[in-house]
Structure 1
Amino acid sequence: MPPNLTGYYRFVSQKNLEDYLQALNINVALRKIVLLLKPDKEIEHRGDHMVVKTLSPFRNYIMEFQVGVEFEEDLRVVDGRKCQTIVTWEGEQLVCVQRGEVPNRGWRHWMEGDELHLELTAKDALCKQVFKKIR
């Protein structure tokens, strides 16, 4: 049975975000701003229904979905694109595949103790972020 990810998570660290943003073709000015941000995550997890909020002073992104149900995701606030998205469980990892203009795009979340780990992929770029559960 997959873990329940409900909680509020504070940003701890990240690696290779700039490579990921370049793979998404984010312009230099916006990349510089994003690299300064330390977003928090808030996750509401009830059965197969989830809401994942990425919260920062610059911009918030809210993703609401049913696990296992494909939907059109509007990523215009992130990079100006839309894609077909499906989120599933692979063991204890929540895995998202985003099909669209950018190949190999998606992410995966999992817990290690009180830390939420996130891997973001686009093309051949891999960004890793870690968040600590604070409530």
Structure 2
Amino acid sequence: MVDAFCAKWKLVQSHNFDEYMRVLGVPFATRQFGNVTKPTVVISRDGDKVVVKTLSTFRNTELAAKLGEEFDETTPDDRHVKSTFNMEGDKFVHVQKWDGKESKFTREIKDGKMVMTLTFEGVQAVRTYEKA
């Protein structure tokens, strides 16, 4: 159930994020911002929609959609993608699709922390968040 993720989360650890962004095609200067930014992620529910807010000094984003329902998203690096939120067992999964490509964010709760694994073309980054 997505309710387990509904909280305010602060990034505390990041592994291989620069490589993930590089493979996505994110420009060098933007990657530098991405590497030093420590975003706060707020996950909540609004009726039957899941709301994911990402707050940082670089850029704030807000996504809201029903589980399993495709929606349009403009990523922080300005890609226009078709996205979906789903629950896969106890994992909250966010998939982005564009130009025949796919990126996947898999969030799970481990030892009270939210661990997000980002996957694109065989490259994985892991970002760990603690409740804020």
Letter aligned with residue 15 of structure 1 = H
| 4+ aligned runs moved over 4 Å, structure 1 | none
User: 2: CA distance between counterparts of 1:101 and 1:22?
Assistant: 17
Task: Name 1:34's counterpart in structure 2.
Answer: 34
Shift of 1:21: 0.6
Is residue 100 from structure 1 mapped to residue 81 from structure 2 by the alignment?
no
Q: CA deviation at 1:113?
A: 3.2
CA distance in 2, matches of 1:84, 1:3: 20
Partner of 2:119: 121
1:56 maps to 56
Structure 1 contact 24–79 (Cα < 8 Å) conserved: no
TM-score, reference length from structure 2: 0.89
Q: Which runs of 5+ in 2 are unaligned?
A: none
| Greater mean deviation of Cα atoms: 101-110 or 58-67 | 101-110
- Structure 1: tracts of 5 or more residues without a match: none
Please report the TM-score for the alignment, with normalisation by the length of structure 1.
Answer: 0.88
SS of the equivalent of 2:58 reads coil
Paired positions, count: 131
Identity among equivalent positions (%) equals 26
CA RMSD in angstroms, aligned pairs only: 1.6
**Do the aligned residues in 1 keep the contact of 2:74 with 2:81 (CA within 8 Å)?**
yes
Q: Specify which of 107, 110, 118 is matched with residue 109 of structure 1.
A: 107
Question: How far apart are residue 72 of structure 1 and its match?
Answer: 1.9
